[in-house]
Amino acid sequence: MSRLDHVETLRREALRQIEAADSQTLETLRIEWLGRKSGQVTALLRSIPTVPAEERGAFGQAVNALKAEVTARLAERKAALAAPAQARAAVDVTMPGRQPALGRLHPITRAAREMIEIFGRLGFEVVEGPEVEDEWHNFVALNIPPEHPARDPLDNYYLDDRLLLRTQTSTVQIRVMENRPPPVRIIAPGRVYRPETVDAGHSNMFHQLEGLWVEQGVTFADLKGVLSMFARAFFGPDVRTRFLPSYFPFTEPSAELYVSCLLCAGKGCPACKRTGWMEIGGCGMVDPNVFEAVGYDAEEVTGFAFGFGIERPAMLKYGINDIRLLFENDLRFLRQF
């Protein structure tokens, strides 16, 4: 072992012993290492003149540094042992507890969870998927042809020539059908994006809940039953529903779902434009082209699908008159729910 290695070995041993020492053994340690007669560091210091000239400089420096370090550590340890033990923090069990700040759910979350719960009772399973989508899942598989206005670059948030932010959560239902055989009974709640001029009634980011039931023998009567039941469960037992013919590329036949106006109970008011009815979503029987796109046999199964926004029903239910309030995260607003 070189002389310097030897110094290092002794150094480690000295520091280890000092750290482990209590107030009784500390003085013994001081004598053992720094004692004038037989201290180990003292012995090293005395040996410096006997070291060959070419090693003496480095050796001398190492030994003097060792003496300084051991002296300092002994003093530190002595001070640490002398400090009074920290008074144990006493717990006063008679003090009142700290009041935790209770959070609450965002009205969109509340509305979405309530919808999910209602469809859960009807046997629908919640599915989720990516918000960044390709044209296949957002358009092609949904029977929306290339020249359809819904694909206009100005009406979509394209990220590049292949990817865009999804404009509806049908994308998730397409993904489910691609990955498992029928039957499926699912709902897809989530965020969707469309370039819209933002005002009290419109946001370029909003939430949707789509649903899909595919199985042998599913009919339009099942669609009407499920959606009517949902409307009464969500808006109240007295709400009436009506289905008006409509058109979507992905369903045939298609319909728009109306509920009797929640503000005037159907009498006619500004909110329902004096019609007594409010449109809350679209629906229809899944187009055979959609089944073909996902590899389902349209001769074997039928299905219905529907989609509605979450914001508008939530606003009607909780009496919110401006959609922007839902996304500004002003606590003075959010604390009211």
Nearer to ligand 2NL, 50 or 197 (CB): 197
Out of 282, 293, 296, 323, the residue judged to bind ligand 2NL by CB under 6 A: 282
**Residue 137 burial (C-beta neighbours within 10 Å; 0-12, 13-18, 19+):** buried
Q: Is residue 115 within the footprint of ligand 2NL (CB under 6 A)? A: no
Nearer to ligand 2NL, 18 or 164 (CB): 164
Asked, as a colleague might, if the bond just before 183 is cis with ω within 30 of 0, I would say: yes
Residue 209, beta-bridge partner list: 189, 308
Please provide the DSSP assignment of 177-218 as one string: HHHSPSPEEEEEEEEEE-----BTTB-SEEEEEEEEEEETT-
Q: Is residue 241 within the footprint of ligand 2NL (CB under 6 A)? A: no
Q: Which amino acid is located at 305 in the chain?
A: A
Q: Which residues inside 34-73 make contact with ligand 2NL, applying CB under 6 A?
A: none
Query: Which tokens in the block code for residue 189?
Result: 């709640």
Nearer to ligand 2NL, 59 or 206 (CB): 206
Q: Which residues inside 287-306 make contact with ligand 2NL, applying CB under 6 A?
A: 290, 305-306
Of 195, 325, 224, nearest to 284 by C-alpha is 224
Q: Is residue 170 within the footprint of ligand 2NL (CB under 6 A)? A: yes
Alpha helices, DSSP H, located in the chain: 3-20, 23-34, 40-47, 53-82, 107-121, 135-138, 170-179, 220-235, 288-294, 311-318, 331-334
Q: Is residue 266 within the footprint of ligand 2NL (CB under 6 A)? A: no
Q: Is residue 173 within the footprint of ligand 2NL (CB under 6 A)? A: yes
Residue for token digits 């809940």? 209
Could you say which DSSP state residue 59 is in? H
Nearer to ligand 2NL, 57 or 123 (CB): 123
Q: Is residue 192 within the footprint of ligand 2NL (CB under 6 A)? A: no
Out of 112, 182, 206, 210, the residue judged to bind ligand 2NL by CB under 6 A: 210
Q: Is residue 283 within the footprint of ligand 2NL (CB under 6 A)? A: yes
Residue 72 phi, psi dihedral angles, 5° rounding: -65, -45
Per DSSP, the three-state class of 98 is: coil
CB of 212 to ligand 2NL, least distance (A): 5
Nearer to ligand 2NL, 63 or 283 (CB): 283
Per DSSP, the three-state class of 114 is: helix
Q: Is residue 203 within the footprint of ligand 2NL (CB under 6 A)? A: no
Binding region for ligand 2NL (CB under 6 A) out of 26-34, 80-88, 103-111, 280-288: 280-288
Q: Is residue 248 within the footprint of ligand 2NL (CB under 6 A)? A: yes
Nearer to ligand 2NL, 192 or 272 (CB): 192
Could you say which DSSP state residue 88 is in? P
Q: Is residue 124 within the footprint of ligand 2NL (CB under 6 A)? A: no
Binding region for ligand 2NL (CB under 6 A) out of 38-46, 91-99, 168-176, 258-266: 168-176
Out of 59, 206, 234, 250, the residue judged to bind ligand 2NL by CB under 6 A: 250
Q: Is residue 251 within the footprint of ligand 2NL (CB under 6 A)? A: yes
Rounded-to-integer distance, Cα 261 and Cα 240, Å:
9
* CB-CB contact of 324 with 198 (8 Å): yes
Q: Is residue 284 within the footprint of ligand 2NL (CB under 6 A)? A: yes
Out of 70, 174, 218, 315, the residue judged to bind ligand 2NL by CB under 6 A: 174
Of 277, 288, 286, 280, nearest to 307 by C-alpha is 280
Q: Is residue 212 within the footprint of ligand 2NL (CB under 6 A)? A: yes
Q: Which residues bind ligand 2NL (CB under 6 A)?
A: 170, 173-174, 210, 212, 248, 250-251, 281-284, 286, 290, 305-307
